[in-house]
Structure 1
């Protein structure tokens, strides 16, 4: 006689596997929504550009460009070429078109290579209508070792992976340790991750030809913020922490960082996240430090510091929660000294906790 297969409800092992399958399936949905939503159809929205010229001809030309572009461009006029270069270096504009017999487009591609491509596509036909080739001048090109300028984004990816994967180890396997010990591990792990990131940026791939220690400092702030938040959240989310940090530091973070498309080319949701998310603070801070004379660097460093502070608060709340749990367990255990039968369930709970920690770390490594 055939034995019917056990249903998930009657098979604990099958139910266990199905429960764990939820994480990769939710990640699949989340990554698809985030990456396709942010990167699938980039279009300019109020992209700031300037027309260089002091006379009425320049103002009429600027108004004509604005009328044709609609909401895609935010067109202004500047009197001189040097003023346009200054605005490019302070990142107030993404391109400047010099009106004249020899039209010139001035850009700063270290700010965003994809944005420069969009600006060139807009003004190349304009110059062609005048019957002249367009001269493109790049006043802030990226280093030769990073010709597209996107190396900083991939550095962000590497540091993020090292940071949130460490969360599973410190939060999972380290759950039996005191919070003070876990905090020290966070400091140590973020220090190591940031040194690896600095090595990638400097001697390995030469993304940073100068200011390497400044870049290391921002990398440490970024990594420590992720680890503090992740380890703090682990107290409450347990095995769902991996999914939680993936949402915070991959799905919403990479997509809003400006490393591929700046907010002017994205929809309003991801463009608004760019203003305060930690990945954007790291990428834009690194660009500012390496290419734009540290303009607006302070704001980006404060963004990273704010995330670090949030992480410290989350970790503090987690420490208080664990302390209260320990006191409750200690109070409940006063009457259990004469009951050896409780020892076996306690060992079972510890074994189950260890298995959950191992599974969580394997899940994080797999991701």
Structure 2
């Protein structure tokens, strides 16, 4: 009877136990960690722009030693790295080889040579220098003109008083006055940007999607692909497809990139392969924490130091050079060279991307052997 009663009566659900509260010290540590993280993100992205200044800008100067020394003396201390060139043609060649960002041609026809494709910021700085040079020339010309007019007045007074030498002085002064014409400083852009990206923002903005593209591929392959060879194959296939797709958008649609489409696609593909390989390799070696480490290296260190928006010389030393050894900096420099500076040597950025790719592949292989089960010996 009791058994039948127990079967017919509904069972009582056990009371839900309240979840234990997080201890206050743990909650406060979490809040502190989040605050530190957001401050680190701000520093990573804002520090290069805030601390950057016009310094050590490599430019060429064409003129006699006295004129070049005057330019160096009148420029703010440490702002220029002046390299002499024997002629305007040599200065143009140095710009096209990306050894300098521009040039100052002195003499009777002063000229400022800029390369907006190399760096719009450097071009703007050199253009402002041209305006200052024009002001200095005008001041000097006015001084010469005033001196010539004074001599003419003195010669006229001497001639009026009956002094014979005054006539010759008056003629010389009258001939000197027209010679005080003010030469105009010409600004010439020897390597201009594409008309579709006249301000150079497209190439600078492209850096973040390229970095994110490599990260996305690395994360997805880390999570959804197993096996060393399969991961390497997936990374290679991703690089080919992503390179063609991103180059098609940046060059075929936005017209940000110039030059050979296939070379640009190869550079983009190698860039995303290098980033993806590092993330997958770190994940294989140390687990999911490797994804975070790879993201920090790429997004929070490499991208801010890439110098896509300003010359690397403007960053505090040695961070401008450090950025060129990371994937975002090498990728940006390589795409700029391929698009606008075919005469410049692109061996260094190709080498950097290749080394990062090799390092990622090595980490993937090491992670495979580290995680492989031990073979029992009979």
The TM-score range, normalised by the shorter chain, is 0.7 to 0.9
Matched, 1:154 2:154: no
Aligned-pair CA distance for 1:227 = 0.9
Select which of 226, 245, 248 maps to 1:196.
Answer: 245
Q: Alpha carbon RMSD of aligned pairs, Å? A: 2.8
Residue number in structure 1 paired with 2:175? none
Equivalent of residue 70 in structure 2, options 57, 64, 67: 64
Deviation at 1:4, TM superposition (A): 10
Q: Distance in 1 between matches of 2:330 and 2:245?
A: 19
* Pairing 1:270–2:322 present: no
Separation of aligned partners in 1, 2:104 and 2:46: 32
| Unmatched segments (≥5 aa) in structure 1 | 332-367
Q: Answer whether contact 1:44 1:72 (CA < 8 A) is retained.
A: yes
TM-score by length of 1: 0.77
- Which of 22, 25, 43 is residue 8 of structure 1 equivalent to? 22
Q: Deviations over 1:282-306 (max 9, x none)?
A: 1111121121124211222112111
* Counterpart among 299, 306, 314 of residue 363 in structure 2: 314
1:227 aligned residue (262, 272, 276): 276
CA contact (8 A) 1:159 1:193 kept: no
In the alignment, structure 1 residue 95 sits paired with structure 2 residue 95? no
Q: Secondary structure at the match of 2:51?
A: coil
Pair 1:178-2:184 in alignment: no
The alignment partner of 1:140 has SS state of coil
Any conservation in 2 of the 1:166–1:227 contact (CA below 8 Å)? yes
Assess if the C-alpha contact under 8 Å between 1:226 and 1:249 holds in 2: yes
1-structure distance, mates of 2:311, 2:107: 30
What CA distance in whole angstroms lies between the structure 1 residues aligned with 2:84 and 2:232? 52
- The correspondence for 1:39, drawn from 41, 49, 53, is 49
Across the two proteins, how many residue pairs are aligned to each other?
315
* Structure 1 outlier segments of 4+, above 6 Å: 18-21
Aligned residue in 2 for 1:287: 336
Structure 1: how far apart are the matches of 2:353 and 2:283?
21
Unaligned segments of structure 2, at least 5 residues: 1-16, 139-182
User: What is the aligned counterpart of 1:298 among 347, 350, 371?
Assistant: 347
Using the TM superposition, give the Cα deviation of residue 21 of structure 1 relative to its aligned residue in structure 2, in angstroms. 9.9
Contact 1:155 1:197 in 2 (8 A): no
Contact residue 150 and residue 259 of structure 1 kept, 8 A: no
Aligned equivalents of 1:21, 1:170: Cα separation in 2:
33
1:105 aligned partner: 112
Judge which range, 145-154 or 236-245, deviates more.
236-245
Is 1:327 the counterpart of 2:327? The answer is no
The Cα offsets for residues 261-295 of structure 1, whole Å up to 9 and x where unpaired, read as 12111111421213422222211111211211242
C-alpha distance after superposition, 1:30-69 (max 9, x if no partner): 322222221113212221122212xxxx322221222333
Judging changes above 3 Å, is the alpha-carbon distance between structure 1 residues 120 and 42 closer, same or farther for their aligned structure 2 residues?
farther
Give SS of 1:49's match: strand
Please identify, of 157-166 and 85-94, the stretch whose mean Cα deviation from structure 2 is larger.
157-166
Partner of 2:40 in structure 1? 30
Structure number with greater Rg is: 2
Deviation at 1:25, TM superposition (A): 5.3
Contact 2:281 2:367 in 1 (8 A): yes
2:196 paired with 1:145: yes
> Is the 8 Å Cα contact of residues 168 and 241 (structure 1) preserved in structure 2?
no
- Does 1:76 pair with 2:97? no
Verify the 8 A CA contact 2:306 2:324 in the aligned structure 1. no
- Kindly state the Cα deviation for residue 29 of structure 1 after the two structures are TM-superposed: 2.9
Distance in 2 (alpha carbons) for counterparts of 1:317 and 1:100: 63
CA distance in 2, matches of 1:108, 1:298: 21
Report which stretch shifted further, 83-92 or 266-275: 266-275
Q: Distance in 1 between matches of 2:104 and 2:87?
A: 11
Per-residue CA distance 1:231-251 (angstroms, 9 max, x = gap):
111134434344322321112
Whether the 8 Å contact between 1:30 and 1:247 is mirrored in structure 2 is no
